[in-house]
Amino acid sequence: MTVKLWIRHWSEKERIEADANEGESLLALSEQYCPERNLPILGALYNNEVVDLFTIVEKPGSIEWLDMSSDQGMRIYRQSLVILLAQAVKALFPQWKLNVHHAIGKHWYCELEGTAYPSVRTLELISEHMNQLIEKNEPIHSKIYPLSEAVPMLEKAGYGDTAGLLERVGKECVCIYRMGEQVFHSFYALAPSAGCLKVFSLEPSERGFLLRYPVESVPERVAPLVEMPRVAGILRKTRDWTKILDISDVYGLHRAISGGAGAERDLIHVSEALQEKFLANVADQIYEDRDRLRVILIAGPSSSGKTTFCYRLSIQLRVLGLRPKVLSTDDYFVNRWETPKNPDGSYDFESLRAIHVDLFNDHLTRLVAGQEVRTPSFDFIEGKRNDDSRIMQVEPGHPVIIEGIHALNEALTPAISRAMKFKIYISSMAQIDIDSYNRVTTSDARLLRRLVRDSQFRGRPAAATLAQWPFVRQGEEQNIFPFQEDADSIFNTALLYETGVFKKYAEPMLQQISPDSREYADAQRLLSILSYFPHIDDTFVPLNSIIREFIGGGSLSDMD
């Protein structure tokens, strides 16, 4: 019996019609229906769902081949590299445990539990073993097992926490990948073999090392190594704190709240207290230099919680005796018809040219000088700036707080001396992962926040938010990330419990996305992540929590 399929490469418009035998694998089809390419095929979108090439054809529909030049293909590549690295570590140093912690730029920071500061020679040996597996083109097979069979397999392989997590969430079936004699669990599809994973390097870093990989735009070589000591420092502090609480992964989160509502309440209060302590430390830094600081600039990527952070920082500064005023760059947008455009003709709201920089600097310098200013407001429905909206004046010796995506860019505030500025970069830097090898990226953590906020306050369906997200990410890469290391302080707005709170909001909206939608693959990835997390009641979330910015019910929205 044959199955009718439409096949294309993800980057091409033309499709070819094909008849596949029912029960045939996508790997066999890729060898038949994919022409020779410079980049190996890593997986496929089968009816808009990301799958590995061992997937069996069972129903008609569409197939798009994925390689390293696509976002979905690069996700497969990165996750497969982790498994290849884990295989090499297990083969050479079975007494050590590999932990993949967080992203530093375009690399993943890893540590080997059981040893401190792996030597250059150790990393060379691991890299050599990985290359041997690549040379042999070692297969990475996948198979679906019932939970009762998958759990003992993972326990025997040394993944007791992963096995415990899968039992805790009640997964009926589990995808197990096998490379040689080793088995692994991955919530995301993997490449068909090690031979697809030729581009990587290992570099010593801090107490561990970096697993370096390429990016979609230049898949032929690893991304440049960019030093980010400030970002690395805040991530290290966050990781050390989660170890103290023994909540370094999702299984730890399940254990922490196993006591019921009281345990959930305690976790929420402790998490919020730690964040408030860090925020108070930032306010103390500013207060210590109050004689010279007049402008506090706050920037971060989408859904970092910038608005709530500004309000809470203002409160902390008031506690110290300062009386700041908040000035938003959003009110200084140029009129909609004056907004620069992207090559496709759409408005480029992320561009610095979308802001009336001259007017903004004129008002800012006058405010710093203690003068009265009539500041504008922007009507986002009409797409028009309303001048003389309100009167603002800052008392002499007190600061102006500015929040916006360009706040760390000196080109936004050229009229103000750098010595008078205190720059803060904030972002939701994911604190806990599913397990040692399965990470929740900071991008996905922020995307969950944005999905909930857009639904709660903007009436935007999940599919629309997912469709817009690549353009948001592009703007962040251009306008925010290049300036993060120039910050005087970096603040992590992630909270240990937040994904459990967002779960009840995000799951229903993601489940409504049809398999016919182009956003179905992203929805399924996020649903897969959420499936590992416990539901956490939002009753005990404080009214001034950053989480309230996304779920509602906060007490700071009307503050001046």
How confident is the model over 424-448, as pLDDT tens digits? Answer: 999 998 778 999 899 999 999 999 9
H or E element, residue 19: strand 16-21
| pLDDT at position 471 | 86
CA distances from 8 to 33, 46, 62, 76, 480 (A): 9, 11, 8, 18, 35
CA atoms 311, 315, 316, 318: torsion sign: positive
H or E element, residue 379: strand 373-379
- Whether 51 has a pLDDT exceeding 90, the answer reads yes
CA–CA distance, 121 with 125 (Å, rounded to integer): 6
Cβ neighbours around 535 below 10 Å, total: 13
557 confidence band (pLDDT: 50, 70, 90)? low
pLDDT digits (tens, 9 = 90+) for 57-102: 999 999 999 999 999 999 999 999 999 999 999 999 999 999 998 8
535 confidence band (pLDDT: 50, 70, 90)? very high
pLDDT digits (tens, 9 = 90+) for 117-171: 899 999 999 999 999 999 999 999 999 999 999 999 999 999 999 999 999 999 8
| pLDDT at position 177 | 96
pLDDT digits (tens, 9 = 90+) for 477-513: 888 999 999 999 999 999 999 999 999 999 999 999 9
pLDDT digits (tens, 9 = 90+) for 158-179: 999 999 999 999 988 999 999 9
Residue ranges of the alpha helices (H) in 248-384?
250-256, 261-288, 306-319, 357-368
pLDDT digits (tens, 9 = 90+) for 102-118: 888 889 999 999 888 89
| pLDDT at position 458 | 80
Task: Please give the structure tokens belonging to residue 381.
Answer: 């429905």
Whole-number percent of the chain with pLDDT over 70: 99
pLDDT digits (tens, 9 = 90+) for 180-202: 889 999 999 999 999 999 999 99
Q: Which residue has the tokens 């404080």?
A: 542
H or E element, residue 78: helix 71-92
- Whether 389 has a pLDDT exceeding 80, the answer reads no
Q: What DSSP designation does 394 have?
A: -
| pLDDT at position 506 | 97
Q: For residue 498, which of 247, 298, 279, 315 has the smallest C-alpha distance?
A: 247
- Whether 248 has a pLDDT exceeding 80, the answer reads yes
- Sheet with 295-299, edge to edge strand ranges: 325-328, 400-403, 295-299, 421-427, 489-492
- Whether 559 has a pLDDT exceeding 50, the answer reads no
The stretch 17-35 carries a mean pLDDT of 87
pLDDT digits (tens, 9 = 90+) for 298-356: 999 989 999 899 999 999 999 999 999 998 888 899 998 898 887 878 788 888 999 99
| pLDDT at position 560 | 38
Task: Please give the structure tokens belonging to residue 477.
Answer: 């890469």
CA–CA distance, 560 with 546 (Å, rounded to integer): 17
pLDDT digits (tens, 9 = 90+) for 393-427: 999 989 999 998 899 999 999 999 999 999 999 99
Cβ neighbours around 279 below 10 Å, total: 19
Mean pLDDT, the chain, as a whole number?
A: 91
**Contact predicate 257/496, CB 8 Å:** no
| pLDDT at position 558 | 44
Q: Which residues contact 260 (CB under 8 A, 6 or more apart)?
A: none
